[in-house]
Amino acid sequence: MDQLDELLQPHLDTVLARNPGEQEFHQAVREVLESLGPVVRRHPDYLHQAVIERICEPERQLIFRVPWVDDQGRVQINRAFRVEFNSALGPYKGGLRFHPSVYLGIVKFLGFEQVFKNALTGMPIGGGKGGSDFDPKGRSDAEVMRFCQSLMTELYRHLGEHTDVPAGDIGVGGREIGYLFGQYKRITNRYESGVLTGKGLAYGGSQVRTEATGYGTVFFTEEMLATRGTSLSGRRVVVSGSGNVAIYAAQKAAALGAHVVACSDSSGYVIDEDGLDVDLLRQVKEVDRGRVSDYAAQRPRAEFVTGGRVWDVACEVALPCATQNELDDAAARRLVEQGVVAVAEGANMPCTPDAVRVFQEAGVLFAPGKAANAGGVATSALEMQQNASRDSWGFAETEEKLRRIMVGVHERCAHAADDYGLPGNYVAGANISSFLQVAESMLALGVV
């Protein structure tokens, strides 16, 4: 990764001073600004018009309490957030995360990343993100419903298909989206199916939305490998996580001929040299809501490991699909020593800056999350299109649209990297391409 240009250091200093303690947000801003030195030197007007300051400051930040009653009749209080970061390209678009780790800094980091990720898709959507420190693990369906209804009772006034369109993220799947949409419909007395994405197919959802982030990550990986005249076929692949993104990344990689041998969750990781049985993994995680140890118990040759990390498993392609900063420089060096040739971030910022540096210095193909995992939000935008036209597309048609979008994301990243003398640097390419699109739109709209 590049050093920060002296022209941009004051802007980073301002972000650090105005947002104390928000380490994830600081990291995300630094990662983008480190790519933009050549851009602001070629386009000094971006500095004169304070585009950097404006793009780093959310347009709106919402924080509110969420009171609800658990199954024992006790009143519980959670805190919720929605950061509407930038609407220069379209309505705010980005998921809701339910996890105890959620606080304002994480939501701002995710929202900032979302602005650039959404721009890379070429779709007319701005960036935002939200969530709560509520933990759905161990909660009954009735408790999750009461929490979602309480959250939406406050959040609904800030949403709309032309204003802000949330989706799911960690801890927010089809169940939660259903409860949220039901309460929105109840309060507003309007069936605005385009106000939330990730909905069930029965009430306005899109084919491929469930699979989209994982599939898109694999499509991007295939495009990167193709630049070196190779593919996923026959490659040994390790995926971190075992949630939605990891499951469908493993499924699509296997469909393209890869041998996917490991996945993980917070309890440990599993190695299955026969190749992951994605149907069983999906049953264990999405239906039974179990652990990867439960998967291993049902596969005779699978091994469940509690110590170490999934990145100890040798592979040629690594797909980190769990959470932010899960893959550090030590893990990166181990992967390089074991012959990794490509790494694509299925999660948001799962590789630390030092890990990214290790991969780039070793000549490993590296795709940042804002590019590699853009397939989820891209298919959310396709869902919005279908809702707006009262239409519904088949699985194959929607998957092909997703594939073409990811090919376009790769082309934008590669072209921008080449244009600024950084061929093969997908981090710089993704940051530069997306920044240029957002910045030009912001200038066109005036100081707003």
Q: Is 93 annotated as a binding residue?
A: yes
pLDDT at 289: 86
The pLDDT-based confidence of 205 (bands split at 50, 70, 90) is very high
User: Span 286-307, mean pLDDT?
Assistant: 94
Q: Is 213 annotated as a binding residue?
A: yes
What residues are labeled active site? 129
The rounded percent of the chain whose pLDDT value lies above 90 is: 97
pLDDT at 2: 61
CA distances from 96 to 151, 164, 241, 325 (A): 11, 12, 18, 19
- Report d(CA 413, CA 160) in Å as an integer: 31
Q: Is 221 annotated as a binding residue?
A: no
| Angle, alpha carbons 291-68-174 (nearest 5°) | 45
**Mean pLDDT in the chain?**
96
What type of residue is 297? A
Q: Is 267 annotated as a binding residue?
A: no
Q: Are 435 and 39 in contact (CB under 8 A)?
A: yes
- Report d(CA 24, CA 165) in Å as an integer: 23
Cα atoms in the Cβ-side hemisphere of radius 13 Å centred on 91: 18
Verdict on whether the full-model pTM lies above 0.85: yes
What type of residue is 154? E
Q: Is 252 annotated as a binding residue?
A: no
Asked whether residue 1 carries a pLDDT value surpassing 70, the answer given is no
The pLDDT-based confidence of 415 (bands split at 50, 70, 90) is very high
| Domains detected in the chain | 9-55 (no CATH), 58-192 (3.40.50.10860), 212-372 (3.40.50.720)
Q: Give per-residue pLDDT as tens, 348-390.
A: 999 999 999 999 999 999 999 999 999 999 999 999 999 999 9
- Report d(CA 287, CA 297) in Å as an integer: 16
Asked whether residue 315 carries a pLDDT value surpassing 70, the answer given is yes
Sheet holding 342-344, edge to edge: 303-305, 268-271, 259-265, 236-240, 317-320, 342-344, 365-367
The pLDDT-based confidence of 307 (bands split at 50, 70, 90) is confident
Q: Are 221 and 342 in contact (CB under 8 A)?
A: yes
CA distances from 248 to 170, 264, 392, 400 (A): 15, 14, 22, 16
Asked whether residue 153 carries a pLDDT value surpassing 70, the answer given is yes
Q: Give per-residue pLDDT as tens, 208-267.
A: 999 999 999 999 999 999 999 999 999 999 999 999 999 999 999 999 999 999 999 999
The pLDDT-based confidence of 3 (bands split at 50, 70, 90) is confident
Asked whether residue 286 carries a pLDDT value surpassing 90, the answer given is no
